[in-house]
Amino acid sequence: MEALYTDYWSSGLWQGIGRIARAGRLTSRYHADLSDAEVFSFNKSAVLNALQQKLARDLEPYSNFLRVGSRFGRQVRSLMRRRKEQHWGNTVFFGYDTGFLEAAAWAKDRGASCVVCQMDPARTEVEIVRGEAVRWPDWAKQAVHVPEEYFAWRKTEWALADVVMVNSRWTGDALIQQGVPPEKIAVVPLAYESPVETSFLPRAKQDNEPLKVLFLGQVNIRKGIPYLIEAARLLQRAPIHIDVVGPIGIQDQHVVKAPANIRFHGSVPRGQAEDFYKKADVFVLPTISDGFALTQLEAMAHGLPVIATPNCGDVVTDGLDGFLVPPRDSASLARALQTLTDDPERLEAMQEEALRTVKKFGLDQLGRNLRQLGSRLPLEKSEDIVEL
The CATH number given to whatever domain includes residue 260 is: 3.40.50.2000
On whether the CB atoms of residues 386 and 6 are closer than 8 A, the answer is no
364-387 average pLDDT score: 77
Neighbours of 183 (CB within 10 A): 8
**Residue 297 above 80 pLDDT?**
yes
Do residue 303 and residue 231 come from a single domain? yes
The pLDDT of residue 376: 87
Do residue 182 and residue 245 come from a single domain? no
Do residue 179 and residue 316 come from a single domain? no
Do residue 251 and residue 128 come from a single domain? no
Residue % of the chain over a pLDDT of 70: 89
**Residue 155 above 50 pLDDT?**
yes
Query: Count of domains in the chain?
Result: 3
On whether the CB atoms of residues 267 and 25 are closer than 8 A, the answer is no
Do residue 163 and residue 118 come from a single domain? yes
Residue type, 33: D
**Residue 156 above 60 pLDDT?**
yes
Distance between CA 11 and CA 8 in Å, rounded? 9
The pLDDT of residue 23: 54
Do residue 264 and residue 321 come from a single domain? yes
Residue 202 lies in a domain: no
Sheet bearing 211-216, strands edge to edge: 262-266, 240-245, 211-216, 282-285, 306-308, 322-324
For 169-218, the pLDDT digits (tens) are: 999 999 999 999 999 999 999 999 876 445 566 666 667 889 999 999 99
Residue 73 lies in a domain: no
Do residue 13 and residue 52 come from a single domain? yes
Residue 203 lies in a domain: no
| Structural domain harbouring 34 | 1-59
Do residue 225 and residue 344 come from a single domain? yes
Do residue 217 and residue 349 come from a single domain? yes
Residue where one domain finishes, among candidates 59, 74, 104 = 59
* CA 269 to the chain's CA centroid: 18
**Residue 228 above 90 pLDDT?**
yes
